[in-house]
Chains A and B, each alone.
Chain A
Amino acid sequence: MRWPKVTVVATAEFTSAVRTKAFVASVLMLPLIYGAAILIQLFASRADTRTRTFALIDRTTVLAPAILEAAKAHNDEDVRDEHGKQVRPRFEPEPIPAEAASGPDVLVRLSDRVRSGELFAFVEIPADVLEPGSGGSSRLRYHTNTPTDLDLPRWLEGVVNTSVHRIRLERAGLDPVKVTAAMAPVLTDTLGLVERPAPSPAAGTAAAPSSARKIDPIRTVALPIALVFVMFVTITSTTPQLMQTVLEEKMSKITEVLLGSVTPFELMLGKLLGNVGVALVLAGLYLGTAYAVSVRYGYGDLAQPGLMLAVVLFIVLGVTLFGSLFMAVGSACSDLKDAQSLMLPVLILAMLPAFFWSVVLQGPDSPVSVAASLFPPATPFLMLMRMALTPAPPVWQVALSVALTTLTALACVWAAGKIFRTGILMQGKAPGFFELARWIVAR
């Protein structure tokens, strides 16, 4: 191993990579991602405020006035925010008189009016909803052409239920105010653990335990997801490049010039190191921006040195592992078409951890999460995620995962080196997996 040569290859690889369109694109993606997030926020808060006009067939005959009144109250009070800007849609009920509602084709005619856009929806309240205990069998019949919109049906359900409860209680001779007070729900606050306070020097006075912090979704969910996302983007946007450069060098016959100067292993190692550099720069840009934003919003303490060190370590391991596999694919093939079919298994291996993200998020210490995060190709993503979650993984699991991934990465580099050595001067048909395995075990 001649390190100066490895360095020359790594430097050339790095400088070439940061000049490619792919790298520029992934850097430009950064503001795009943040921009898109902000835009989505804006659009999400700007709800669809078109007025919902709906026909109301009230077969109980007693609920319609309450609904009309509630709609008026909603339109007067809830539609606009404190600045007078409309943030919720107006609800305009159109009661259908009892005589008109009894015709056999009334539902058809109302449906036609919804289709024509005259109405947003129509709702049928069965006569028996007021019977106590009828909830299971008797339901509101809400007809719409826009079933995904939930504003109106939810509001209706709430209004109808409040009125129905009140009427049922009254009919049963109970005081609705007292019952409502008695039935007020008890809600849950999810909290972290309590730390034992440092013993105070003024002996005797046991200091009060620190109050547990309220769980903040940004700390518990956003950080691990962001870390895994950055990991995923950097690894999948840099390592396939290695396949490309190896293939390009092979197709344009550069490899022979290079092998006249360096060993295949030096060449491969240099390329891997160059790519690790690119990945670290990319991750640094992404995380640096995220850090700047998080400091602005008071989350600067999330960037703990240990976690950042883990990010760097796992990027090095992940790029080495996947990079060597992609290079093996590139060196075994003679054209892009062959390479694309042969790279699919490697891509799937890189995608696989994504299926476990939600599992790990919900149960960081569940057996499935532990097993998945110890599976070497998934470790850079999932172990990192677990480290950002609570309960944090035990040290032995982190150490074991790093050891396993390091060994796997080295094995990949070794096997890729064998394939590289044999494949790099080969032309013609791409080898099958059996043939590749033979190259690996060959002298």
Chain B
Amino acid sequence: MNQHDAIVIDQVTKQFGQHVAVEDLSLRVPRGTLYGFIGPNGSGKTTTLRMIMHILLPDAGRIAVLGQEDTRAAQDRVGYLPEERGLYKKMTVRRLLRYYGQLKGATPADLARRIPDWLERMGLADWADKKIETLSKGMAQKVQFMGAVVAEPELLILDEPFSGLDPVNAEVLKDAILDLRRKGTTIVFSTHDMGVAERLCDRIFMIYRGRKVLDGTLAEIQSRYGGDTLRIRTADGAAALDGLPGVVEVRDDGNRQEVRFRGDPQAILHALVERTRVEHFEVTHPSLHDIFVRIAAPEREVSIHALA
């Protein structure tokens, strides 16, 4: 077992009745990395995270966490933010954090020091002795996050940490996550926000229909999909691209279009200049979002195989 890997998943399969949630999955998460799990709803992200947490047991294959296999020995060193948030409504914020921390084996003395620090940092110092039920959704989510980190885990598993947060709170959370990584915490998080995954993650893993479809750094993934993308802004918007030779597909983001093309980009630029005023023209890799859609949109399933 490699001690440099925080998580080793080896040929793991998990079935629920007839439904195969995760199929023959292998993955290594090196220590100290910030790993993004992406994939459409129901593709097996949460099941994989739950198996890492030993909440679910795989039907086949092996999972080692922090060098420990098949035991809960590493459990105290792993923090977990589940997808479905759960807090005791009647507990005060402080009591809840103390309980969640103690469950992970943190001592009351350590917690008495860390809890006020975290509350201060997340802007919840005034809410320490308020009941959870009085908190707004965003505040409750920050409390949930603190519950996962207050025991100072070596490995942090976050299932959709940013969902439902406003931009200000999302920024606070992002800073906290990056700070933890700087201190050496290995972080795995799942997200639907491709922008977040692109900006934050060292490595990205995509699961689709229970199988691994992407795994690597953003650059590795993008280079695999080649430089077949144009990012264009023109005076006429998407209308200017209609029937342009070489254009395979247009994704319209309103003020900007992402174009998958075949052939010579110079020819396309030339044709475009003749039609309209070009404000921006960039030959680039497809965005993670685009790659995600290419893989997960069912009508394009053929093209994945063509590409792969």
Name A residues whose Cβ lies closer than 8 Å to a Cβ of B.
4-5, 8-9, 12, 16, 19, 249, 252-263, 425
Contact = CB atoms under 8 A, between A and B. Distances in A.
B105 A4 contact: yes
Nearest to A256: B82
Nearest to A8: B102
Interface stretch (B72-80, B176-184, B189-197, B247-255): B72-80
Interface secondary structure of B, over-half rule:
loop
Contact of A260 (B53, B85, B90): B53
Interface of B: 50, 53, 55-56, 72, 75-76, 78, 80, 82, 84-91, 99-100, 102-105, 144, 147
A253 B82 contact: yes
A257 B105 contact: no
Contacts of B72: 263
Nearest to A270: B103
A257 B99 CA distance: 11
B87 A262 contact: no
Given A257-B80, A260-B75, A12 B86 contact: no
Contacts of B76: 261
Contacts of B82: 253, 256-257, 260
B90 A249 contact: no
B99 A8 contact: yes
A104 to B, nearest CB: 76
Given A5-B103, A257-B80, A260-B80, 14 more contacts: A5-B105, A12-B99, A16-B88, A16-B90, A19-B90, A252-B89, A253-B86, A256-B50, A256-B86, A257-B86, A257-B147, A261-B100, A261-B103, A425-B55
Contacts of B102: 8
A252 B103 CA distance: 18
Contacts of B105: 4-5
A423 to B, nearest CB: 13
A259 B88 CA distance: 15
B152 to A, nearest CB: 14
Given A257-B147, A261-B104, A252 B87 contact: yes
A19 B87 CA distance: 17
Contacts of A425: 55-56
A399 B85 CA distance: 48
Contacts of A254: 86-88
Shortest beta-carbon contacts, A-B, top 9: A254-B86, A253-B86, A260-B80, A253-B84, A261-B103, A256-B82, A8-B102, A259-B55, A260-B53
A253 B85 contact: yes
A30 B35 CA distance: 58
Q: Which of A9, A19, A257, A262 has the most CB of B within 10 A?
A: A257
17 contacts: A8-B102, A12-B99, A16-B88, A19-B90, A249-B86, A249-B88, A252-B86, A252-B87, A252-B89, A253-B82, A254-B86, A254-B87, A256-B82, A256-B84, A257-B100, A259-B53, A259-B55
Given A8-B102, A12-B99, A253-B84, A260 B89 contact: no
Contacts of B84: 253, 256
A27 to B, nearest CB: 18
B147 to A, nearest CB: 7
Contacts of B103: 5, 8-9, 258, 261-262
A434 B75 CA distance: 34
Nearest to B147: A257
A249 B86 CA distance: 8
Given A4-B105, A263-B72, A255 B86 contact: yes
